[in-house]
Structure 1
Amino acid sequence: MKKILLIEDDKQLSMLVQDFLQKYGYDVNVPSDFQHIIEQYHSYQPELVLLDINLPYYDGYYLCRSIRQISNVPIIIISARNADMDQILAIELGADDYITKPFTFDILHSKIKATVRRVYGEYAEKDGMILEVGPLKINSQTMTIAYQGTKLELSKNEFLLLKKMVEQHNAYIPREVLMEEVWDTITFVDDNTLTVNITRIKKKLATLGLHDVISSKRGVGYRLNVSVGN
């Protein structure tokens, strides 16, 4: 039974979502004290968070960033805000997916199932925790990269993107494939969102001393090229 923290101030919607998800075996906790959400997060220790943006005391962006600072738990934003920039900001702050209101419960359930499969189930990392390409190492458990004794943390999205490039290093991976690897669907994800995440990965690799190891080709995609000599 997966534990879901539903952070939504619309009481009627919260009750409907809670009742619906409980029918599928989820344990759904709905906080009523929006001033102490992080404390409730620590107490409940959910395995997935459903998070609205417009909330009392702290908005969903602040809570998404705060949760991401302490955990890699998957976060799905559910919001009436449907502007591209709202969705891009949520993704950049560490959200795993974004659903705009109004939505059907079937869509919500499919998003939850896809996220759970990717993070905990059949699509989760089942092999060794350490992935290597040349001298670069990625730890799938801690979501860190290491090179020549220096280690840096990755966000969940950065980890998933870099992991995909490591698994297929020296080959160009289409942008659509990378986007689907992280967000399951590319229907709501602005193309610039992927570019922003790739830029962040490049900066972190450069901080480690690996400069220009990710190349791009217009109309093709991105390629990671880390040789033994790097």
Structure 2
Amino acid sequence: MTKIFIIEDDDKLSEHIKEYIERYDYEVVTVEDYKQIENQFYKINPDLVLLDINLPYYDGFYFCRVFRRKSTVPIIIISARTLEAEQVMGIELGADDYITKPLSLQLLLVKIKACLRRSCGKYTKKTSINVNGLKLDESNYKIFYKNKEVELSKNECKLIKKLMTQKDKIVTRENLLKILWDDTIFVDDNTLNVNVTRVKNKLRNIGIKKVIKTKRGIGYYFDSSLIDN
């Protein structure tokens, strides 16, 4: 899964961006400690960085220079600074794009996709996920466990991928519906239940039982502790 590192000291905006782009199947990491941004960057090794300019301790221009010393990761600057000279500075320091606030999340998403296309010729998404020996192969729509395998439909693959990548965390029903179906199309709530049941049955066929848990009225979560590695 493509990993995006948001470096934005407006907590409300950072969370708003995070929630929005997670709907499109990106993993999003935010700053833990503004004194340790550089260390966190190298630790998580993101596929793309969203970088604000006005930050505590050091500004975004500083981090743009620092990251470029050792990394070619795509960087999109998001800033309230609208002067052309500052936009030019950001690009010259190595940023791939510059978007000004107030932010259009739809435009930001388009720029994220464009940067990832330019950086690797396609969206930077892994084709396999492994949780305690349970392996999902997205390219072939198959899931494997202890020399057993089962084929998945496209939606079943999307569903189990989301739950596995967010293992041990609740994924809301709304989030899953947005991943599986177009927002503009009405989907009967029971349709999601049916797809979850199908995934549970297929996991049971390869020896994985009760790993998908229901949080009544909220959503589902993938309990990785129930997989015998």
Tell me the TM-score normalised to structure 2 length: 0.53
The AA in structure 1 aligned to 2:79 is S
The AA in structure 1 aligned to 2:2 is K
Partner of 2:88: 88
Partner of 1:3: 3
Residues 165-208 of structure 1 deviation map (CA, whole Å, 9 limit, x = unaligned): xxxxxxxxxxxxxxxxxxxxxxxxxxxxxxxxxxxxxxxxxxxx
The AA in structure 1 aligned to 2:103 is F
Q: Distance in 2 between matches of 1:26 and 1:123?
A: 10
- Does the CA contact (< 8 Å) of 2:5 and 2:30 recur in 1? yes
The alignment partner of 2:98 has SS state of strand
Aligned residue pair count = 124
Alignment partner of 1:32 is 2:32: yes
The AA in structure 2 aligned to 1:40 is Q
Q: Distance in 2 between matches of 1:122 and 1:44?
A: 21
Residues 47-76 of structure 1 deviation map (CA, whole Å, 9 limit, x = unaligned): 100000000011000000000001010100
The alignment partner of 1:118 has SS state of helix
Partner of 2:116: 116
Deviation at 1:123? Answer: 9.6
The AA in structure 2 aligned to 1:77 is I
- Does the CA contact (< 8 Å) of 1:7 and 1:51 recur in 2? yes
Partner of 1:12: 12
The AA in structure 2 aligned to 1:106 is Q
- Does the CA contact (< 8 Å) of 2:113 and 2:123 recur in 1? no
Percent of residue pairs identical: 52
- Does the CA contact (< 8 Å) of 1:74 and 1:95 recur in 2? yes
Instruction: Flag the 1:81–1:110 CA change in 2: closer, same or farther, 3 A.
Output: same
Q: Distance in 2 between matches of 1:35 and 1:2?
A: 25
Q: Distance in 2 between matches of 1:33 and 1:122?
A: 32
- Does the CA contact (< 8 Å) of 1:53 and 1:59 recur in 2? yes
Structure 1, unmatched stretches of 5+, are 125-230
Deviation at 1:121? Answer: 2.7
Q: Distance in 2 between matches of 1:33 and 1:47?
A: 20
Residues 190-229 of structure 1 deviation map (CA, whole Å, 9 limit, x = unaligned): xxxxxxxxxxxxxxxxxxxxxxxxxxxxxxxxxxxxxxxx
Structure 2, unmatched stretches of 5+, are 125-229
Deviation at 1:120? Answer: 1.8
The alignment partner of 2:99 has SS state of strand
Partner of 1:132: none
Tell me the TM-score normalised to structure 1 length: 0.52
The alignment partner of 2:90 has SS state of helix
Residues 96-134 of structure 1 deviation map (CA, whole Å, 9 limit, x = unaligned): 00000012110000000111111123499xxxxxxxxxx
Structure number with bigger Rg: 2
The alignment partner of 1:18 has SS state of helix
The alignment partner of 1:6 has SS state of strand
Alignment partner of 1:97 is 2:97: yes
Q: Distance in 1 between matches of 2:75 and 2:34?
A: 17
- Does the CA contact (< 8 Å) of 1:9 and 1:32 recur in 2? no
Root mean square deviation, CA, Å = 1.4
Partner of 2:54: 54
Deviation at 1:42? Answer: 0.8
After superposition, residues 59-208 of structure 1 pair within 5 angstroms as: 59-122=59-122
Deviation at 1:19? Answer: 0.4
